[in-house]
Chain A
Amino acid sequence: MSETPKKASNEGFLWLLFSAGGVVAAILIPIQLFLFGLAFPLGWLPQPSYDHLVYLMSSPWVRLYLFVMCSLPLFHWAHRFRFTLYDGLQVKHLNEVIFAFCYGGALVGTVLAAYLLLSI
C-alpha cells in the first residue's frame, strides 16, 4: 500500500464525474426516452414539429442541457466499464490501456457532442 496521493486525488475527480453521470443517466435520460420514445410517437402528448425542435436548439440552455445529458453519462460508463474490466476480466495489469480507452472514449464522445450541438 504505497502512498500515491496525486493519483488518489484524480480518483476523487473521476468519481465525481461518475456520480454526476449516474444521476443524469438515471433521471434525465428516462424523461427524454419517455417523451421522444413513447409519449410523442404514441400520441400521448402533442408531437412537437421539427422546426419547433430546431428553434429550441437555438437556446444555449437547451444546448447545455443536451451536452450535459450526452457527456456525463459517458464518464459514468467509463468509470463503470473500467472497473468491470479490472474486476470482471481481471486485467488490472492493463491499467494504462484501459484507463486511456475508457476516459479517452468518454472524452471523444464529449467533444463530438459539443461539436454537433454547436454546429446545429
Chain B
Amino acid sequence: MADKIVLEIARYAPERDDKPSFQSFEVPLRKEWVVLDALNYIKDKVDGTLTYRWSCRMGICGSCGMMVNGEPKLTCATFLTSYGNNATVRVEPLRYFPVIRDLVTALSDFLVKLQKVKPWLIHPNQPPLSAGEFLQTPEQLDLYKQFSMCINCTLCYAACPVVGLDQEFVGPAALALAQRYNLDNRDQGSAERLATLAHPDGIWGCTFVGECTRVCPKHVDPAGAIQQYKLTAALDWVKSFILPRGHKDAPQETAHD
C-alpha cells in the first residue's frame, strides 16, 4: 500500500478566472520527494496545464519559491515527508506578488527595486586589467560574503509584513544586496546608493520584524544587513550635522536616479 499525500494547489488563469481557486491532487508520498517533485509529477502525469517556475532543483537558481502551507519555501528544498502521510499540503504563489498564472508571480517590481540599489561594483577609477587581480584578504571577504549568498528567490519579500503593507518598500533582498556591495572594499558606490537606501521607503521602512532572515534559504540575514546599514546611515547623518563642510561629498548631493 503506497503512501499518499494531497496537494491543494492554487490555480489561476487570467483569461478564465476572476480569482484564484484551489485544486486538489493526490500524489505518491516518496521519502526522497520534495514539493517540486510532486508538482512535476502532477504536470507530467495528471494535468499538463499546471504552471510554475523551476530550474536547478538544488537551491541555487531561486526560481521555485512558493507558499507551502502558508510559509515561503523553496519547493526544491521542502520534503513532502516533513508534512506526514495522508497530509494535505497547500501550495500557493508567493505572497504579495501579482500572480501571472497558477503558481507564477510577476517579478518586474522586484527587479526595478533591485536595480535601484545598484547591486554591482561601482569603481570609477578601476585600474587596467594589466595591473593584475584586485586582491582581497579573507577578512575583507568575510565582511560581505554572507550577504552575497542571495539567490533572489524573493522568499523574504513574501515573509515581510512591511512589503505587504507598503508596496514602495525596497524590501529585504535588495537592501541586503546593496549592503553586500557597500561592504566590498573594491566598491566605491556607497555614496551613490545612500539616497535610495537611507530613505523612508528604504532601510527606514524596515521595522525589524526579522521574518526575512528566518525564511532565507541561504542564511543571508537581510534583517541584520538592514540594521547594520541603519547605524551607518544614522552615523552619517551625525557626521554631516557636525561636519557639514567636511562631508561635502556625502550621499545626498551625489545621488541621482
* Binary contact track B180-202/A, C-beta < 8 Å → 1, others 0: 00000000000000011011111
Question: Known: A9-B240, A87-B161, A87-B207. Contact between A1 and B230, CB under 8 A?
Answer: no
B199 lies within 8 A of A15 (CB): no
For A6, the chain B residues whose CB sits under 8 A away are: 252
Asked if A3 is an interface residue, CB under 8 A from chain B, the answer is: yes
For A4, the chain B residues whose CB sits under 8 A away are: 199-200
A8 lies within 8 A of B255 (CB): no
* Binary contact track A81-120/B, C-beta < 8 Å → 1, others 0: 0010011001010000000000000000000000000000
Binds A, one of B3-11, B31-39, B62-70, B231-239: B231-239
CA distance in complex: A88, B198 (Å): 23
For B231, the chain A residues whose CB sits under 8 A away are: 19
B116 lies within 8 A of A15 (CB): no
B252 lies within 8 A of A5 (CB): yes
CA distance in complex: A14, B251 (Å): 19
A3 lies within 8 A of B196 (CB): yes
For A3, the chain B residues whose CB sits under 8 A away are: 195-196, 199, 255, 257
Nearest CB on B from A7, distance (A)? 6
How many A-B pairs with Cβ below 8 Å?
Answer: 65
Asked if A45 is an interface residue, CB under 8 A from chain B, the answer is: no
* Binary contact track B100-122/A, C-beta < 8 Å → 1, others 0: 00000000000001001000000
Contacts of B169-222 to chain A: CB distance below 8 A: 170, 195-196, 198-202, 204, 207
Asked if B165 is an interface residue, CB under 8 A from chain A, the answer is: yes
Asked if B168 is an interface residue, CB under 8 A from chain A, the answer is: yes
Q: Which residue of A lies closest to B206 (CB)?
A: A83
Nearest CB on A from B239, distance (A)? 10
Asked if B76 is an interface residue, CB under 8 A from chain A, the answer is: no
Q: Which residue of B lies closest to A7 (CB)?
A: B200
Asked if B27 is an interface residue, CB under 8 A from chain A, the answer is: no
B207 lies within 8 A of A83 (CB): yes
Asked if B223 is an interface residue, CB under 8 A from chain A, the answer is: no
Contacts of A12-32 to chain B: CB distance below 8 A: 12-13, 15-16, 19
For B156, the chain A residues whose CB sits under 8 A away are: none
Nearest CB on B from A81, distance (A)? 12
Question: Known: A15-B204, A87-B165. Contact between A5 and B234, CB under 8 A?
Answer: no
For A9, the chain B residues whose CB sits under 8 A away are: 198, 237, 240, 252
B199 lies within 8 A of A1 (CB): yes
Asked if B162 is an interface residue, CB under 8 A from chain A, the answer is: yes
A16 lies within 8 A of B238 (CB): yes
Give the 5 A-B residue pairs with the shortest CB-CB distance, closest first.
Answer: A12-B237, A12-B234, A5-B252, A11-B204, A8-B198
Binding site for B on A (CB under 8 A): 1, 3-9, 11-13, 15-16, 19, 83, 86-87, 90, 92
| Pairs A–B under 8 Å by Cβ, sample size 12 | A1-B168, A1-B170, A3-B199, A3-B257, A5-B255, A8-B204, A9-B198, A9-B237, A11-B200, A12-B237, A12-B238, A92-B166
A3-B195, A9-B252 known; 6 new pairs, CB 8 Å cut-off, are: A3-B255, A11-B200, A13-B234, A15-B234, A87-B165, A87-B207
